[in-house]
A and B are shown apart, each in its own frame.
Chain A
Amino acid sequence: MSEPTATQRVESVEYAEFRQRLADPSVAVVDVLPVTTFRHSHIAGAKNLPLAHVLELASDVLPDKQQEVVLYCAGFT
């Protein structure tokens, strides 16, 4: 997996647009919260990639490096 560079910009997406893109199968939705929280509840269709283990699990959860990815977390940091 390519090293994340410090200069990479991550754009933010709003609820309305995100909700629309959710139906699109080419978009991967990734939940970066830990497994226990993910199991409790997560956005429908999201995959789990806990931030703590991102380096180990990233290539398994997101094998396609060209795929568009939207991340989310708990939302108030």
Chain B
Amino acid sequence: MRDYSGGMADWLDHRGPIESTARRRRVRAEIKSRLLPRVVRSKSSKSARRPAGFDDRLIDALVLNRSVGGLLGIWVAMVVGFGVVYWTADLVGTPWLGGDLGEPGSLTDLAIAIYFSFVTALTIGYGDISPIGPARVLAIIEGATGLLIFGLVISKLVSRRQEELIEDIHRIAFEQRLGRVRTSLHLVLSELQTIVTMCADESVEAPRLRTRAESTVAIFEGELRTVHDLLYRPEQMADEQSLESILAGLAASLEVLNELMGCLPREGRDSSVFVNSLRHIHLRAVEICSDCVPHEYAPNLADWMDRVRVLAEKLG
């Protein structure tokens, strides 16, 4: 018996073949973000429904994946390049620029050509130097490209701020979710305790107990599923304190549920809804143990998880 210690994480890094028996197909990037407990940047939203054509990929490679500095560098290089082209044309003979030029081939001429190039690319267009003949075509191309690149630079700067905001929103939504789970578990616990007390009191009829038990157990099942998700497919890591109180609440609820099983009269337990929920609770809770979950947790959390598992087994 051997152990592939790298596990799913290493396999995915090497892009090994995966299968899935889930009914809905999901995007590859999402698989990675599900199994690995890191926050994946939402930059990988290139999960377009249609396959990216050649021109899309070209644009991506040349432009969209560059940094702001990179784009500005490209822009400057383009402008200087165009300037040199204007200057060489002047050198070769055919005057491409009209206006107050220097000697053809001189550095002054080069400087003026580059100056004209900048003025065109920034869409200023003073008009002291103007293009003649073929240079007009080049100048138009240069103007359009310069504008385009500038637009890209600005949009990159804006989207950076947006990405920060989105991460903030995700974090807040996650914390709210944690809070809701804690509250719900607390409610489940107190409701179960009430039912146990009512159970001990002989005067309460079974059907009433049963309906209350059914609905409470259904809620418990839902919250347990959320906790299970939090542990097995964390999009973000919950902080230790919240996790500990959630696990404690879970353990306490399982304990009271065990008590309830002992006390509930036969008819109280007969509904299939109830039995189903119980079965699901058992199955999921049993998977919450410190060795089963795909992440190292602090020892106190591991303790709670093991305790949850032990209680879950008793439930079976």
A interface residues with partner B (beta carbon < 8 Å):
8, 10-15, 18-19, 33-34, 36-46, 50-53, 68-77
Tell whether B55 is near chain A: CB-to-CB under 8 Å: no
> Which B residue's beta carbon lies closest to that of A27?
B2
Q: Does A77 lie within 8 Å of B286, measured CB to CB?
A: no
Q: Does B17 lie within 8 Å of A44, measured CB to CB?
A: yes
Cβ contact of B294, chosen from A8, A46, A74, cutoff 8 A: A74
Interface of B is mostly: loop
Q: How far is the CB of B282 from chain A (nearest CB, A)?
A: 10
Q: How far is the CB of B12 from chain A (nearest CB, A)?
A: 9
Cβ contact of B9, chosen from A8, A11, A44, A75, cutoff 8 A: A75
With A11-B3, A37-B35 as contacts: A42 and B18 at CB distance below 8 Å: yes
| A50→B232 CA distance, assembly (Å) | 13
**Which chain B residues lie closer than 8 Å to A15 at the CB level?**
4, 6, 10-11, 14, 16
B interface residues with partner A (beta carbon < 8 Å):
1-11, 14, 16-22, 26, 31, 34-36, 228, 232-233, 286-287, 289, 291-292, 294-296, 309
With A71-B4, A72-B3, A74-B9 as contacts: A39 and B21 at CB distance below 8 Å: yes
> Which A residue's beta carbon lies closest to that of B309?
A52
| A36→B17 CA distance, assembly (Å) | 19
Q: How far is the CB of A24 from chain B (nearest CB, A)?
A: 13
| A71→B19 CA distance, assembly (Å) | 16
Q: Jot down 29 A-B pairs with beta carbons below 8 A, ordered by A.
A: A13-B4, A15-B6, A15-B14, A18-B4, A33-B8, A36-B232, A39-B22, A40-B22, A40-B34, A41-B8, A41-B18, A41-B22, A41-B31, A42-B8, A42-B20, A43-B11, A52-B287, A52-B309, A68-B2, A69-B2, A71-B4, A72-B3, A72-B4, A72-B7, A72-B11, A74-B8, A74-B9, A75-B8, A77-B294
